[in-house]
Structure 1
Amino acid sequence: MFLRVARHTNNLEKIETFYVNILGFERLGGFQNHDNYNGVFIGKSGLDWHFEFTESNDNVNHHPDEDDIIALYPTTVLEYNNLLENISRNNISIITSKNPYWNQNGKMFLDPDGYRIVISPLRAKNIIAKNQSSKSNKSMNILLETERLILREILPTDEMAIYRLDSNPNVHRFLGNNPITTMEESRKYIDHIRNQYTQNGIGRFAVVLKETNEMIGWSGIKFITEPENNHVNFYEIGYRFIEEHWGKGYAYESAKAWLDYGFNEMKIQKMYASANKENVGSIKILKKIGMQQVSEFDWNGIPCYWFELENK
């Protein structure tokens, strides 16, 4: 059996652009002036289904229900992340689903006709080798995988997760006690990180729990261009997690992956890190991945330990 899902629209060109250029489907064919109808077939080559969108002189008045949904399941994590990037780059807003299931298992947005679409990662496979980078034609071209985690670039659509992370005073206890208070600050923080990707080719990455596809914090390598402890232009390893995910080994697991990547793929000669002298947990993690405590220094009035590790 072959499946065709047909829908009439008031703007055929906009619909085609949305489904082909943003969602990555193919234009399989089309027709003009077929009994006063124009149309396009959109789908994927070789599959036994496709969409048909048509346009005529009759005005369409859509009334989609909140539970009328097209659910799309990318087959790889990279495909899922690239779709989210396309959505963000085209200023398409993520919306809240009436059905909580989709809020937990995907991202919902509207197509040009106002119909709800969900992109879900539930069937996305991690096809990259453990702790290795994956090449792509887009974005940062880096995607790491550990036993329990996916480490991907931070996207504008991560603004809520960043807000949950950095609005918690407990998270900022050893960071100067300056949590964010607005979503706008969360967006600016993401912009800052993504600017580092462009300028330095590296930066902090989102840590995503494989089991739930939830962003639980960030971890990664940052290129420091401002003086710190009499050093400048150096690579620093760091991490920060949402409080409910503390104490589960995620910081060590992600930091170890980034240290291996920095030494083996980026060929960094020496890795650096620092921690508040009272942050016993972070100090323990840095020592566990092999970082050596070599000195003490003052960072914005906060006594800190300085760590280094040479790539041998």
Structure 2
Amino acid sequence: MPVNGRSHIRIARPSRDLAAAERFWVEGLGLGVVWRAEGGAEPGEHDLLMLGWPDAGWHLELVHEQGSPVEPRPTDEDLLVIYVDGPVPEDLVARLEAHGGSRVRSPNPYWNEWGVTVQDPDGYRLVLCTRGWANA
């Protein structure tokens, strides 16, 4: 199978609290749980939460290892950008905030002009961009 534009993408990140992350991404943004697995307390075993939309070509994987947790270390430029191609619904932003997110200003003025940035419970940033995008 070739690697090309139809290849599925997994974005993997550590999480300090999978329940809080799930509330933000599922109840806040509206992603679905694609897969869930519980690990044990032994080194190398981890809890896993995979989130996405059924028709998306990507999914978000969040992991937490109880025996040796990895602390998330996002920067202001670690962004997951979703191109909304229109106004960002204020009720969506309010729902993200109600489920553990914090609306933040971006150090990059582009994202302040063309979108809304919301920080998730682990400190990673989601940008809802008012623009559309196509690679073609």
Match of 1:59 in 2: 69
Q: How does 1:1-312 map to 2 (within 5 A)?
A: 1-33=7-39, 36-57=45-66, 58-74=68-84, 77=87, 80-90=89-99, 92-123=101-132
**Kindly, what percent of the aligned residue pairs are identical?**
27
1:76 to partner: Cα distance: 5.6
Per-residue CA deviation, residues 189-223 of structure 1 (Å, 9 max, x unaligned), is xxxxxxxxxxxxxxxxxxxxxxxxxxxxxxxxxxx
Q: Is the 8 A contact 1:37 1:54 kept in 2?
A: yes
Q: Secondary structure at 1:114's aligned position in 2?
A: coil
- CA distance in structure 2 between the partners assigned to 1:59 and 1:47 by the alignment: 29
- CA distance in structure 2 between the partners assigned to 1:36 and 1:74 by the alignment: 37
Per-residue CA deviation, residues 107-129 of structure 1 (Å, 9 max, x unaligned), is 11211111122111213xxxxxx
CA distance change for structure 1 residues 99 and 87 in 2, over 3 Å: closer, same or farther? same
Larger-Rg structure = 1
CA distance change for structure 1 residues 54 and 92 in 2, over 3 Å: closer, same or farther? closer
CA distance change for structure 1 residues 18 and 90 in 2, over 3 Å: closer, same or farther? closer
CA distance change for structure 1 residues 90 and 39 in 2, over 3 Å: closer, same or farther? closer
State the one-letter code of the partner of 2:95: N
Q: Secondary structure at 2:27's aligned position in 1?
A: helix
1:23 to partner: Cα distance: 1.0
State the one-letter code of the partner of 2:117: M
CA distance change for structure 1 residues 104 and 80 in 2, over 3 Å: closer, same or farther? same
CA distance change for structure 1 residues 101 and 11 in 2, over 3 Å: closer, same or farther? same
Q: Secondary structure at 1:13's aligned position in 2?
A: helix
1:105 to partner: Cα distance: 0.6
TM-score by length of 1: 0.36
CA distance change for structure 1 residues 29 and 4 in 2, over 3 Å: closer, same or farther? same
Unaligned runs of 5+ in 2: 1-6
1:59 to partner: Cα distance: 2.3
Unaligned runs of 5+ in 1: 124-312
CA distance change for structure 1 residues 75 and 27 in 2, over 3 Å: closer, same or farther? farther
- CA distance in structure 1 between the partners assigned to 2:89 and 2:53 by the alignment: 16
Aligned length: 123
Which has the bigger relative contact order, CA under 8 A and spacing at least 6? 2
TM-score by length of 2: 0.77
